[in-house]
Structure 1
């Protein structure tokens, strides 16, 4: 699966980050708890230099708890503060605020506000995190990668301000496995994907790890051996038919992908920490 995606506005975003990093003293790096390595932008480390960094494993409610615990230990072992969060529902926000309060900035008189930057790849939940921390809708939210544009300073609490910035994704996905992880979790737009190919591979994983969830979700007595046959069975059960009675594989694939991303097929972690 060869995927390249680098919208023009993301080059501008990278330039903006370089300009604004000097304005902050801590960076909140937002990762997808299902794919922490694939969702960690490889260029961010060089851009941030020695800035303080907090790792937030977002969408933890869609990931397997035991693996999230392993990832927390992994990143803590690298010296980072780590929070598991569900920014859409506000879980983990209190813990994150408490961590930010610890980054006190000495000034001539008293202390300056802690200024933080939220950074992450597209569609990882940056705007949802900002809104959850602010307690109101202040940043635009959308389920399409690349929806957040521009920048804004937002006062979260007395002494804490956040700079919301669009996510950055590298020009060339480094491996087919990484491309699959980013695509199946929603960091890459539908338009550049072979959706059926993506869902075939996804179904193979679900068949292997959680076959009962497929039986329950799609009311199947037995699962066929192959992902292609399973996709057709799902389409038949849901009534996704083309003129002439043929299964609409594309529509079925889009529905399966959407339901996976929403956690309706169960909780999945697609990457485990390196040994």
Structure 2
């Protein structure tokens, strides 16, 4: 199953960003530190040219610091990119972004014209909270759900930085398919666009492989569950998520797992690593090539049949 969410205002935001991006001096791209690749906007490499980019790995307090360090190293291998992990619980980290914007523009006379920055990111990545911290006042509407900001606005900040705020948006096709699941698990996709049991099974499978001890500690399990469904069954039994006949309600158990994962109750957890993503991209290319070859073969057979029919 693929998960996609691309309402109308996101299409509009995508077009507006593509129009404005060539006019800015620096891009601040907000990423979720738990899913740096899945939350990365494909428009940035397409349109940025030589424009410098600050990749802000927000919610770093919820992510595995060792994995976050690997992502920072990977991002900074590309010219003109600086990656910094931050937490909304540390305002000084956030305010340092303004100084970094100016540092990354050494050849510009900022006394004549301030740096023009654009901030962008997926829904519910914490962009509005960051803007309010930078401005020192409430400017952007915040909310613990996807799709709060829906219009573009410009804000003058300290250090002579003019910031263009953009609505959070996704892209029409999330690929590889696992990206859609990770975005749903972390809250970037509206809850009505997916099934909780479905994404909980995905999350449970990953957690058992990557963070088994943290799972067992959270649910006070003496033995590691055999698989994803066994974990949800154990969770459901302990939290009273039972249906008639003694069967665990996967929707309720799944909702608990996802809610607690989003809240960081398992401890620091990262849902993807650079090596994992590299392998997924390679597999996705192979699958796409296979589908293209199968489609070409079906078309060839169809044309052969058509020739025989009309001889």
Output the CA distance in 2 between the equivalents of 1:139 and 1:88: 18
Q: Under a length normalisation based on structure 2, what TM-score does the superposition of the two structures give? A: 0.80
Output the CA distance in 2 between the equivalents of 1:270 and 1:135: 32
Q: Say if 1:75 and 1:82, in contact at 8 Å, map to a contact too.
A: yes
Matches within 5 A, 1:71-110: 71-79=71-79, 80-87=81-88, 89-90=90-91, 92-102=93-103, 103=105, 105-106=108-109, 110=111
Q: Give 3-state SS (helix, strand or coil) of 1:70's partner.
A: helix
1:174 to partner: Cα distance? 1.5
Q: Say if 1:39 and 1:121, in contact at 8 Å, map to a contact too.
A: yes
Output the CA distance in 1 between the equivalents of 2:93 and 2:206: 29
Q: What is the RMSD computed on CA atoms of the aligned residues?
A: 2.1
Matches within 5 A, 1:90-169: 90=91, 92-102=93-103, 103=105, 105-106=108-109, 110-169=111-170
Partner of 1:27: 27
Report the CA distance shift for 1:91/1:187 in structure 2 as closer, same or farther (over 3 A).
Answer: farther
Report the CA distance shift for 1:214/1:271 in structure 2 as closer, same or farther (over 3 A).
Answer: closer
Report the CA distance shift for 1:233/1:271 in structure 2 as closer, same or farther (over 3 A).
Answer: closer
Q: Say if 1:123 and 1:186, in contact at 8 Å, map to a contact too.
A: yes
Q: Say if 1:88 and 1:129, in contact at 8 Å, map to a contact too.
A: no
Report the CA distance shift for 1:250/1:73 in structure 2 as closer, same or farther (over 3 A).
Answer: same
1:139 to partner: Cα distance? 0.7
1:142 to partner: Cα distance? 1.6
Q: Say if 1:235 and 1:252, in contact at 8 Å, map to a contact too.
A: yes
Rg comparison, structure with higher value: 2
CA offsets, 1:154-185, max 9 Å, x none?
Answer: 22214112111012311011222222222222
Number of residues of Structure 1 aligned to a counterpart in Structure 2: 273
Give the structure with the larger helix fraction: 2
Q: Under a length normalisation based on structure 1, what TM-score does the superposition of the two structures give? A: 0.90
Partner of 1:190: 191
Matches within 5 A, 1:251-270: 251-270=252-271
The structure showing larger relative contact order (alpha-carbon pairs under 8 Å, at least 6 residues apart) is: 1
Q: Say if 2:236 and 2:242, in contact at 8 Å, map to a contact too.
A: yes
Q: Give 3-state SS (helix, strand or coil) of 1:203's partner.
A: helix
CA offsets, 1:60-80, max 9 Å, x none?
Answer: 111111121121122221121
Q: Give 3-state SS (helix, strand or coil) of 1:82's partner.
A: strand
Partner of 1:203: 204
Q: Give 3-state SS (helix, strand or coil) of 1:111's partner.
A: coil
Output the CA distance in 1 between the equivalents of 2:243 and 2:130: 41
